[in-house]
């Protein structure tokens, strides 16, 4: 991994994500880019009663005075974030850059994500409200669209040693196995792959493939079969917490989108429940 991008908005989760990104930049020797997107939605308003066919609201630019005030506010926010980024990166021996862009947050973050090897985001930003634990829409969009591993950081991440892989054999986990193994190896701690509620034949296949893969990384790892409880997400989070692992690695979203629609997404549930960073790839 040669480049890391961190999305910044100054929220508690974003501040925690910055610390996490700086540490991974140091450990991996990777360039670090801090990105602040000036959300274009902040510069328009939606007058009551003004809508297109079908009731879709129509936006209009802010008045001259309101626009000037919002521009000044956004500039102050960007200056504060750049100062925080510069201070956090002090002592790093790798290249660092702080970037400001104005436009659609999801589109621009996806663009920056695709020009990096790793994306780091806080679980929730200011635009979603910082009181909840559910991941915000930008985080979910990046997981779906970035085509890169995404590290999602909670507001107060628990520190631990080693990484836990939720290893179900899906395409997502096979994709994240490569960057996840690189990060687990760089952490220097133990790695544990868990499979949940699979039959003996599938267990043997999963065990052999992951442990054989880790040999090339000189990664000391174990494989464990865990019984399926009410929610797979709870089993994953509990296993990481009980083992003291500081990182969960898993594929994002499963084989059956229709089933997830009706019964909930294990990915989103893990992100909501986990008290340590989660590395995902769709």
pLDDT digits (tens, 9 = 90+) for 249-260: 999 975 454 344
Q: Which fold has domain 163-281?
A: Rossmann fold (3.40.50)
Q: For the domain 3-41+72-153, what is the CATH code?
A: 3.40.50.620
Looking up tokens 């990104």 gives 21
Q: What is the pLDDT of residues 57-80, one digit of tens each?
A: 888 999 999 999 999 999 999 999
Asked if the domains at 3-41+72-153 and 163-281 fall in one CATH topology, the answer is yes
Q: Can you give the residue ranges of every domain in the chain?
A: 3-41+72-153, 163-281
CB 21 within 8 A of CB 127: no
Percent residues over pLDDT 70 in the chain = 95
Global pTM value? 0.93
Query: Residue 90 burial (CB < 10 Å; 0-12/13-18/19+)?
Result: exposed
Q: What is the pLDDT of residues 21-60, one digit of tens each?
A: 999 999 999 999 999 999 999 999 998 878 877 778 888 9
Percent residues over pLDDT 90 in the chain = 77
Residue 234: its pLDDT value, please? 94
Average pLDDT of the chain is 91
**Measured between alpha carbons, how far is 97 from 30 in angstroms, rounded to an integer?**
12
Structure tokens at 216: 């090339």
**Measured between alpha carbons, how far is 122 from 136 in angstroms, rounded to an integer?**
9
Residue 57: its pLDDT value, please? 85
DSSP assignment of 95-107 equals -EEEEEEEE-HHH
Residue 89: its pLDDT value, please? 98
């Amino acid at each position: 991994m040669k480049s890391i991008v961190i999305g910044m908005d100054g929220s508690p989760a974003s501040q925690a994500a910055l610390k996490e990104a700086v540490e991974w930049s140091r450990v991996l020797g990777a360039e670090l880019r801090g990105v602040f997107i000036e959300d274009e939605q902040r510069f328009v308003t939606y007058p009551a009663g003004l809508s297109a066919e079908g009731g879709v609201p129509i936006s209009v630019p802010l008045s001259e005075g309101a626009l000037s005030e919002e521009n000044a506010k956004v500039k102050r926010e960007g200056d504060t974030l750049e100062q925080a980024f510069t201070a956090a990166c002090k002592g790093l021996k790798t290249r660092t850059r702080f970037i400001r862009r104005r436009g659609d947050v999801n589109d621009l973050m996806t663009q920056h994500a695709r020009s990096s090897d790793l994306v780091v985001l806080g679980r929730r930003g200011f635009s979603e409200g910082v009181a909840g634990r559910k991941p915000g829409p930008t985080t979910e969009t990046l997981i779906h669209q970035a085509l890169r591993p995404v590290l999602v950081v909670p507001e107060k991440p628990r520190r631990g040693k080693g990484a836990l892989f939720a290893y179900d054999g899906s395409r997502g986990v096979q994709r994240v196995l490569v960057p996840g193994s690189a990060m687990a190896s760089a952490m220097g701690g133990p790695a544990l792959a868990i499979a949940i509620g699979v039959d003996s034949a599938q267990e043997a296949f999963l065990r052999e493939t992951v442990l054989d893969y880790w040999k090339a990384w000189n990664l000391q790892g174990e494989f464990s079969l865990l019984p399926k409880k009410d929610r797979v997400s709870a089993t994953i989070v509990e296993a990481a917490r009980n083992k003291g692992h500081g990182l969960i690695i898993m594929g994002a979203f499963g084989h059956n989108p229709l089933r997830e629609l009706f019964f909930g997404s294990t990915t989103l549930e893990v992100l909501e429940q986990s008290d340590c960073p989660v590395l995902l790839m769709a």
